[in-house]
Structure 1
Amino acid sequence: MNRILVMLKRVLGIGLLAVILSFVAMPGFNVEAKGHKIPASPEIINLFGDRLHPVYIGTTSDHMHVYTTQESIDNLLAYKDYDGVEWDLYIILVPGTEELHKDTVSAIREGAEGIVTWLPAKSRNLWGTGSQMFVEINYPYDSNDTADNSDDTADAWATADMEYYNSYGEIIGFRREDGYINEGESTSELIELITDFINKQYDEHKIDPYSSYIQ
């Protein structure tokens, strides 16, 4: 009996060691910037195993491609008190140039130890970064407004909880740390781009918010 227990412990120990070594020794166990090209947006799978469908919003002047997800849009459109000013969406940013791609990867890797959790995946090459963003614009938003709103602000709150995706839609890593996005020129452009998009979506899909749930 003792011999059987010893053998079982030995087999389990060897198996556990093999799993640990294969995980740690996985090639490309860090996010990579090589071979940059922008593929068609893949379906992505979040940490909860939900399959999400990216929807292209637009591109900023610094060549950052902006996506949300159809599921995120559906949630916002179903909110009966949406006022065209505040929105809460899952936003994915995809670098559109090789230089921007390398800068994004460099920013992720800088200080990543102890913050980013890397996951096994087919490819360690970065496609895009995702996070939940909440915006409250403190003036009546109008993209055609030429008035000086320099004294007004648009508060951009986002979870600094970032998910990093490869071109297969797999999460290659994530970080968990709540934070505040400081308002800046690039952030302002991003907010306007997304707000214009979602307001257009909302205008085109004004429906009774309960009709799809109550038959």
Structure 2
Amino acid sequence: MTHILLVEDEVKLARFVELELNYEGYQVSVAYDGLTALTAARKLNVDLVILDWMLPGLSGLEICRRLRSIGDKVPIILLTVKDEVSDRIAGLEAGADDYVVKPFSVDELLARVHVHLRRSHQEDAVYILEFEELSLNRRTREVYRCQRLIELTAKEFDLLEYLLTHPGQVITCDRLLEEVWGYDFMGDVNIIETYIHYLRLKLEANNEKRLIQTVSGVGYTLRD
């Protein structure tokens, strides 16, 4: 049975979400503070974490950072009242896979849970993706250009991985939002522009030629 860790300090909301998840057939463990949540995430073999941003003891953002720092790749959906673009970027940079703004529709939350569980359960035999002198290892989450190791954030890695799986194809911003972020991100394409900018800075740090090309008015493509 799929096991979900729900971390929410609002007891009534936690109980409501827990019951909805149970109804969908998920096993649910609940934590109400940050320290308990971190311990549970490390000890329990969970398939996904639903994590409130504002928690007593330890914030959801810090929990994300700590889990990613030890190589834990469990999908994390942040719940928060924060809705500024800068807040969303902070959550994604910390390692969250998705972002749900309170108050939210439980149907929307369940849809995102389904998306991330499906994605995490998909097994792909190809672990090394290469394009020109660029190499990405899905197992170790390492990226090299020639012999230079490139340090990427979790979401930068996911974006580059998606481009590498579709070399030469023109990928629209809407498709990137759906496939990389897992939802429409309120239709805000600025998040794509921001992350493409971050990737280019890192991939071209030694004045290497540009591989991520802009297709004006459409999106982006990985092309020599």
TM-score of the two chains, using structure 1 as the length reference = 0.27
Q: Which has the larger radius of gyration?
A: 1
- Whichever structure has more strand as a proportion of its residues is 1
TM-score of the two chains, using structure 2 as the length reference = 0.26
Larger RCO, structure (CA 8 Å, separation 6 or more):
1
